[in-house]
Chain A
Amino acid sequence: MERVRYMSIDVDARGLACPQPVIGVKKALDSIAEGTITAIVDNSVAKENVIKFATANNCGVSVSQQGDHYYIKITKGKAVPTEQTFKQPQTSNGKLVYLISQDTLGHGSAELGGVLMKSFMFTLLERDPRPDVIMFINAGVKLTVEGSPVLEHLSQLSSHGTQVLSCGTCLDFYGLKDKLAVGSVTNMFTIVDELSSAAKAVTL
């Protein structure tokens, strides 16, 4: 097996103010499928922000300091080729993702379904680990807009770091785009991307 896509890039962000070091690393990460980026920065703010960016993008990070300069090694995709890489060929980003396509839970009574959805969201909030991403499509988007019975739960999930995404086409269809009350609007590309790269995707 050839590892032709494996790249190594240096990003010298010394002398650059926030957010330039993060932008530099983002561009470098976007340009490779997998590989290693070494970012060099000269202040602790840039160091912390680059580490946050890399961690949020599920990359491996290690830092070494030489004088006033920090060398941040960021590994994207399969780790630096080791035996383990071949044992576990996976491209998962480690995320727990939920796709919710209706505003009630289960088939049968709509009233019961509403109660169950509320209880479900509450339980998601209480359970550890919380979801990394919850995506709402079709009638599911009624849960993320003003007046939703689970708005409080979703807001709390969102403030704990769960990404709450609502399908833009669906919000448009139901005339709810102005009413979105939690999270942000997404598109089918992101939905497919999140579902296919998740460690675990649950569809309701």
Chain B
Amino acid sequence: MLCQLPKPTDPNLLVGIETADDAGVYKLDDNIALIQTVDFFTPIVDNPYLFGQIAAANSLSDVYAMGAKPLTVMNIVAFPNSKLDGQVLLKILEGGCAKVMEAGAVVVGGHTVDDDEPKYGLSVTGICHPDKVLTNANAKPGDALILTKPIGTGVLATAARADMFPDGSAAAAQSMAKLNRKAAEVMACFPVNACTDVTGFGLLGHIYEMASGSKVNIKIAANAVPLLPEAAEAAKMGLVPAGAYANRGYLSTVEFAQAVPENIRDLCYDPQTSGGLLISIPADRAASLLDVLHKAGVIEAAVIGEITTHGKGEIYVY
């Protein structure tokens, strides 16, 4: 839909809306580029403080995925003042603020509108050296693909609404609230070719964006993909969100080996909230990147696949 709008012509706009990337990048001078992104959504967990943390971690993630450092944020809030206690909003904002502080950024303002359903998120501004900006469109054949968080948050959020798999749902909430800061800081020390974060289009949707943007084909080892606890069981039980089916419907270039079970396929399409970074790095450096990630506390990071050849964005999952 965005392509129907007039195209900006400013030469300082390094990454705009046309490449389906995580954030916009605008070059200020030869040393500094401005990274800007915004995201907000309805509560995904019942606990307002935790929801605030998750929404903030999710918004900040886009800046990390560009290889940048977040500086300032603005709160974006919709809240039903007549229906809900103001304390709930306070808890949401406290949760968000805690994550912003953990990210080393500052809240500089925000805006609230009265709305039937609460919504929360951040507009984030970060900076990066213009030459160090990581897009999703530069993965190269011979790269290994690393994912830094387990998948299954959509399925487990659905399970939570059904009062099933409480352990898995709790683990999903903790994972969603986790910043991608450490992963981004570690990544900055390595010759990474491309990066994005895994969110609403699911693991395969974001792999496809990387593959088509980079004009390469990608192979994924299904049993190497880290899963949240109980995610496989919950998917098997039919707790699969509509978004996963929609993602499956959009992607026409994915082929699965017969041995990959249906519930794992569902998880590969499962829309993620505040998912991990998807990092494309030359294969000979992947093991040492993974090792440093693990040592930095990003313990669930794993090599999940490889960039095979130049191509049209075909994905094979085996």
Contacts and interface: CB of A to CB of B under 8 A. Distances in A.
Interface of A: 17-19, 22-23, 26, 44-45, 48-54, 56-57, 156, 158-161, 163, 183-185
A51 B238 contact: yes
A183 B229 contact: yes
B264 A161 contact: yes
Contact of A185 (B162, B167, B223, B235): B167
B190 interface: no
A51 B237 CA distance: 9
B233 A18 contact: no
A172 B108 CA distance: 46
Main secondary structure of the interface of A (DSSP, over half): helix
Contacts of B222: 159
Contact of A52 (B164, B225, B242, B262): B262
A184 B229 contact: yes
Contacts of B162: 19, 22-23, 26
3 tightest A-B contacts by CB? A52-B238, A49-B238, A53-B238
A22 B237 CA distance: 8
B242 A45 contact: yes
Contact of B227 (A17, A18, A159, A163): A159
Nearest to A146: B299
Contacts of B167: 184-185
Contacts of B235: 52
Nearest to B260: A160
A49 B242 CA distance: 9
A163 B239 contact: no
Nearest to A185: B167
A158 B232 contact: yes
A26 B245 CA distance: 21
7 contacts: A18-B242, A19-B239, A45-B240, A56-B237, A161-B261, A161-B264, A184-B168
B223 A156 contact: yes
Nearest to A23: B162
B240 A18 contact: yes
Between A49, A50, A158, A163, the greatest number of chain B beta carbons within 10 A of the residue's beta carbon is seen for: A49
B230 A18 contact: no
B263 to A, nearest CB: 6
A161 B263 contact: yes
Given A22-B162, A22-B239, A45 B229 contact: no
A184 B230 contact: yes
Contacts of A44: 245
Given A22-B162, A23-B162, A53 B237 contact: yes
